[in-house]
Amino acid sequence: MTNDEIKKMEDRQVPHGRIDLIGCGRLGLRIGINLMQVHRGGPRTIGAFDGQKVDGGDVIFTLLGAEIGQNKPDFIKQLCTHKKEFREVLSYPEYITEENTDLIEGDVVIIVIAGGNTIPTAAKIIKHAHERGAKTIGTAGIFGYGNENIEIKDISEYDDTNPAVEELRKQGITENHLLLTTNKFIRDGEPITPYTLDEVANTITMNALKLLDDKL
């Protein structure tokens, strides 16, 4: 293979498309960092959405240099040191509601919101994304000590034992939505460890990149 042939292949493997990250908490931050570091491909644009600010409990944020009170999407944007023409993070320091779903423009939409009953909001985001022709991926229970078997497949492939899956189905999400789970839930009384979040973030990143390449 000649240098010119190698150069042509390298020139084709550049960032492309957009991935939107809905939720920039401990899991979202990990995914955002993963996406920023992808080489020879990955998203050209990352949209980071969250209305939360960094507080004292967000240790991974403060370890990386975040200030208490800083908007979480702003911090993810701050971490991206690429030239804008190569890769850019767009910060949306607000929660997604029925009124602002039009801000979501990703070819792939990752939904990792947490706290309370997030299923109705997730369902609205998924429906909006599907109407635009975007691919979606989210979580359905990610508790565990860190040695769990991570399962990821389309919502249509799950049985009726996962409560998050069943709630999404009641909201009309029955197919074309990729879901990841450890099959451990808040009812099981286990924590969510950094080790679990690392594995979940890595798996979501890999699959989101595949969806992006399939989409484009």
Closest CA to 115 of 208, 23, 16, 207: 23
Q: CA gyration radius for the chain?
A: 17
Write out the chain's pLDDT in tens, 216 residues: 786 665 666 667 789 999 999 999 999 999 999 999 999 999 999 999 999 999 999 999 999 999 999 999 999 999 999 999 999 999 999 999 989 999 999 999 999 998 778 999 999 999 999 999 999 999 999 999 998 999 999 999 999 899 999 999 999 999 999 999 999 999 999 999 999 999 999 999 999 999 999 977
User: Given this model, what pLDDT does residue 15 score?
Assistant: 94
User: Given this model, what pLDDT does residue 49 score?
Assistant: 98
CA distance 167 to 173: 9
Closest CA to 201 of 14, 60, 82: 60
CA distance 143 to 185: 6
Which residues have a Cβ under 8 Å from the Cβ of 119 and sit 6 or more positions away? Answer: 164, 167, 168, 171
User: Given this model, what pLDDT does residue 43 score?
Assistant: 98
> Domain extents for the chain?
3-215
Closest CA to 40 of 14, 12, 68: 14
CA distance 98 to 165: 21
CB 15 within 8 A of CB 42: yes
User: Given this model, what pLDDT does residue 5 score?
Assistant: 65
User: Given this model, what pLDDT does residue 6 score?
Assistant: 58
User: Given this model, what pLDDT does residue 14 score?
Assistant: 87
User: Given this model, what pLDDT does residue 8 score?
Assistant: 64
Task: Give the bridge partners for 192, in sequence order.
Answer: 144
User: Given this model, what pLDDT does residue 13 score?
Assistant: 76
User: Given this model, what pLDDT does residue 115 score?
Assistant: 79
Would the pTM of this model clear 0.75, i.e. be above it? yes
User: Given this model, what pLDDT does residue 155 score?
Assistant: 98
Q: Which CATH class is domain 3-215?
A: alpha beta
User: Given this model, what pLDDT does residue 137 score?
Assistant: 98
